[in-house]
Chain A
Amino acid sequence: MMEDIMLSTVSITTPILLAALGGMFSNLVNELNIGLEGLMTISAFFSVLVASSSGNLFLGIICGMGVSIVFSLIMILFRLKLKGNIFILGLATNLLASGLVSFLGIKLLGSKGTVVFKNVSKMAVVFIENNSENAFSRILSGFNIFDYISFISVIISFFILYKTSHGFHMRATGLSKKTAINVGINVNKNKIVAYLLCGVLCGLSGASLSISVSSFTAGITNGRGWIALVAVILGRNNPIGILLASLLFGLTTAISSVLQTGTEISPKLLMMIPFIVTLIGLIFSSLNKGKKTEGI
């Protein structure tokens, strides 16, 4: 039972974590991307479609990421060149993605419901030789590549943000645009780079949703993009914080789904748990933040 909870915690956390890291980069340059959901949807569709028609998983993931990057860049270009409102652009991306995906679903696949793709190879799950004596190998096995990628992404994001000049410039851009311009940081370039990273990570997140189940459903993201935004705020723009916030949501969701099968309590009531726990987490996190700023 504990192993089940752990496994499903990780698989629930993965897409949220990836998208949240993408959202974090956008929030760092002060252009919070609320179109995460749309980017995930579009990537989920194209990655599984290409993976199935080409028979190449890797190509599928790359294509999903590519489309997600394109949409992400369209957003930031509308923002920078046409002075659009990033909030509206995010909503537009969400709407366009869901419309486009069901439209293409009907045109290309003849269905807007669930489509199961046959030709997607099942390499996605990594099994380390299950050696029951070695507890370490047991912990590491059973996860798919996306789970590993998401945790590696946390480390890479941390490295980019705190150990490279790019990360420093990005953070500076977010803190004060004017100061950043004055010290010679190219603000627009940093915003574009942030959205590029956002596109990459949301692309991975979307691919992880569809490829791991070899199918696509309209509404496959099921609000995960919004939960990822919650994780960005709750994790306070810090990759480690975002990891913890995503895990909190993943763990409570996993527990609530175990309880759904094991108890008599109505599933709908149990499904409220992750959202309420996250809200409480948010309140406590804001309380702490309030104290800190007062202290300074």
Chain B
Amino acid sequence: MPFFISILIGIIIMGFTSSNPAEALDAFFLKPFSNEYFFGNMISGAIPLIFTGLAAVIAFSSSIFNLGLEGQVYAGAVISTFIANSMVGANNLLILTVSIIAAFIAGCAIGSISGFLKSKFSVNELISSLLISYSITFFLDFLLEEVLLDRGSGLIATESISNSLMFERILSPSNLHSGLIIAIVLVIVVYFLLRKTTFGFSSKLTGDSIQFSKYVGINTGLMTVVIMGISGGIAAIGGMVDVFGVHGRVIRGFSIGYGWNGIAISLIARNNPLLVIPAALFFAFLDTGATTGAIFSDITPEISKIIQASIFYFVTASFYFKFNRKGMGK
């Protein structure tokens, strides 16, 4: 329902601003599916969002806010690229394994600082994760500009990783890559972790009531640290997968927005790990539609942001509709 209302809003805006509305609608809604290039890029655009969406879901399901996803994604990307570039010559599988573990550890470390500060000093994790994320981003920018910079490239970027390390492309000539499989596997793992294990239950309990959880013997402080750690780690793997799948190197600012969109996606998915995939695809669809819309007609790409925003407004409102219906049923 919210999706229809917001798409309707998008259609109305396009109708008013475009000189040829029919063409604009076609370019926005249908062109993303028209050929392999756009379709593949759309799905590939959803991959990092699945990771950050999952990261946000894990934190939210324990009522913790991780607003540091942006920095965590970036950190995962930088550290894994650094490792891949400094291990040249070793076995590819080994390099990939080490890179992915290093990315996870980096994100995990950054995330768990906020968790630690919350459990030890009751520092608001929403604020601390945000501040840490800003600091980390500046620090990584510094590394990129002065330490890891590839001076020959003309970009503010690291050296490219070896081609043989890149994930397999699935739908050439688009960017779609086999990192999608990692994303899907992770979604399933997280689903089982949160819904089918004692750990998932205790994390939810900790979020619902700290006092009660302490009473039943859950180490709530440790729980907070672990949850923030896993959340940060998954976001960081998202950064690594995006580099190894699409860009091949870390370019300054390549991941801007991944974290915020991840938070948005977890909210739209209503904290259900399985729904993260369609929500991420929908976001990627809007972005691709905005691109194709700008190429093939006269609408501006910012329209996708307006549609995304109106979805938020109506997604929260629809909570009410559902709740109300239940109430009347009784």
Contact = CB atoms under 8 A, between A and B. Distances in A.
Chains A and B come from one and the same complex:
yes
Interface string A71-101: 0000000100011110111011101101110
Contact of A89 (B304, B313, B323): B313
Interface string B66-79: 00000000000000
Given A103-B302, A268-B142, A282 B123 contact: yes
Nearest to A102: B302
Contacts of A271: 138
Interface in A260-278: 266, 268-269, 271-272, 275-276, 278
Contact of B306 (A96, A286, A289, A290): A96
Given A88-B312, A278-B131, A279-B135, A286 B305 contact: no
Nearest to A282: B123
B85 interface: no
Given A91-B263, A96-B305, A271-B138, A84 B317 contact: yes
Interface stretch (A52-60, A177-185, A225-233): A225-233
A296 interface: no
B12 to A, nearest CB: 13
A279 B131 contact: yes
Contacts of A175: none
A223 interface: yes
Nearest to B313: A92
A118 interface: no
- Chain A: interface secondary structure? helix
Interface string A22-60: 000000000000000000000000000000000000000
Contacts of B127: 229-230, 233-234, 282
Contacts, number: 128
The range of chain A's interface size is: 35 or more
Contact of A290 (B122, B142, B267): B122
B139 A95 contact: no
Contact of A95 (B117, B312, B316): B312
Contacts of A91: 260, 263-264, 267, 312
Contact of A230 (B130, B267, B310, B319): B130
Nearest to A281: B131
Contact of B319 (A84, A107, A275): A84
A83 B319 contact: yes
A287 interface: yes
Nearest to A278: B131
A269 B306 CA distance: 35
Interface string B257-276: 00010011001000000000
A88 B306 contact: no
B191 to A, nearest CB: 22
Contact of B305 (A89, A99, A276): A99
Interface string B121-149: 11110011011101100110110011000
Nearest to B267: A88
A233 B123 CA distance: 10
B308 interface: yes
Given A99-B305, A106-B302, A283 B316 contact: no
A103 B267 contact: no
Contacts of A96: 305-306, 309-310, 313
B264 A85 contact: no
Contacts of A233: 124, 127
Interface of B: 17, 65, 117, 121-124, 127-128, 130-132, 134-135, 138-139, 141-142, 145-146, 260, 263-264, 267, 300, 302-306, 308-310, 312-313, 315-317, 319-320, 323
Given A272-B135, A282-B124, A286-B122, 17 more contacts: A82-B317, A83-B319, A83-B323, A85-B319, A88-B312, A89-B312, A89-B313, A92-B313, A96-B306, A96-B309, A99-B306, A103-B306, A112-B302, A226-B130, A275-B134, A278-B131, A283-B123
18 contacts: A82-B317, A84-B313, A84-B320, A88-B267, A88-B316, A95-B309, A95-B312, A96-B305, A96-B306, A103-B303, A223-B134, A226-B130, A233-B124, A266-B146, A268-B145, A268-B146, A275-B134, A275-B138
Q: Which 10 A-B pairs have the closest CB atoms?
A: A99-B305, A84-B316, A92-B312, A96-B309, A268-B142, A82-B317, A83-B320, A95-B309, A103-B302, A99-B306
